A and B are shown apart, each in its own frame.
Chain A
Amino acid sequence: GENVEQHPSTLSVQEGDSAVIKCTYSDSASNYFPWYKQELGKGPQLIIDIRSNVGEKKDQRIAVTLNKTAKHFSLHITETQPEDSAVYFCAASIRSGGYNKLIFGAGTRLAVHP
């Protein structure tokens, strides 16, 4: 079945630095890749997503890149701030019985130090 691997599991950066989180997926038919941010005690919040017909997407300090040939996609956060500290999950959408399901990576715990 589909598998999504996410690295690193923890990431510690200084405020103002950039952070990069990488994911790989196994199902070449996957065509939708969202990223979620989950703060302590809250539900996952969609921060950016990308579809397979696009190679890169940017929203202010956040960008996502997708390499369909290599089956990997990455989240880039520039000028990190302490409020960026959270767990980040990547996901890949797969078809199952005519419906779309999200397969999540294991998560990356990002700590931004002032």
Chain B
Amino acid sequence: DTEVTQTPKHLVMGMTNKKSLKCEQHMGHRAMYWYKQKAKKPPELMFVYSYEKLSINESVPSRFSPECPNSSLLNLHLHALQPEDSALYLCASSEGPGMSKETQYFGPGTRLLVL
């Protein structure tokens, strides 16, 4: 089973709201990723967690705050977002961060609309 689940599927929020996106995998993977995807564009990496520690932050604005409570869960906390942050937010996981374990499996995404 290579399933990554994400909730919610859709989210509408105002610029003053605080919300969270959730991602879960039960494959025993030790690396998890957040991507942002705008319409008709490829996914853009935001964060990488490896063994529950933040390993890569691709210079993402602080209004996006990731959290990895345990090896199966990954959250993305959102606060004071801008309309241009509207996008599909994808979570992915891989067996590990290193070579030969880097195959990434994606979840279905959360479609976010910021008003």
Which residues of A are interface residues toward B (Cβ below 8 A)? 31-32, 34, 36, 41-46, 49, 51, 89, 93, 96-102, 104-107
Asked whether A102 and B109 contact (CB < 8 A) given A43-B90, A89-B42, A97-B55, the answer is: no
Asked whether A42 and B102 contact (CB < 8 A) given A99-B56, A101-B56, the answer is: no
Closest-by-CB residue of B relative to A32 is B102
| Interface assignment of B14: CB less than 8 Å from any CB of chain A | no
State A101–B42 Cα separation when bound (angstroms).
14
Is A46 a contact partner of B104 (Cβ separation < 8 A)? yes
A102 — which chain B residues lie within 8 A by C-beta?
45, 102, 104
Report B77 CB to chain A, min CB distance, Å. Answer: 21
Can you spell out 9 A-B residue pairs with CB atoms less than 8 angstroms apart? A32-B102, A32-B103, A36-B106, A43-B90, A43-B108, A45-B106, A97-B56, A99-B31, A106-B42
Contact bitstring B73-115, A, C-beta under 8 A = 1, else 0: 0000000000000000010000001111011111111010000
Is A44 a contact partner of B106 (Cβ separation < 8 A)? yes
Is A43 a contact partner of B103 (Cβ separation < 8 A)? no
| Interface assignment of B71: CB less than 8 Å from any CB of chain A | no
Closest-by-CB residue of A relative to B111 is A41
Q: How many residues of B contact A (CB 8 A)?
A: 27
Is B109 a contact partner of A42 (Cβ separation < 8 A)? yes
Closest-by-CB residue of B relative to A96 is B56
Closest-by-CB residue of A relative to B88 is A43
Report B16 CB to chain A, min CB distance, Å. Answer: 28
Is B109 a contact partner of A100 (Cβ separation < 8 A)? no
B6 — which chain A residues lie within 8 A by C-beta?
43
**The one of A42, A46, A105 that contacts B103, using a Cβ cutoff of 8 Å:** A46
Is A100 a contact partner of B42 (Cβ separation < 8 A)? no
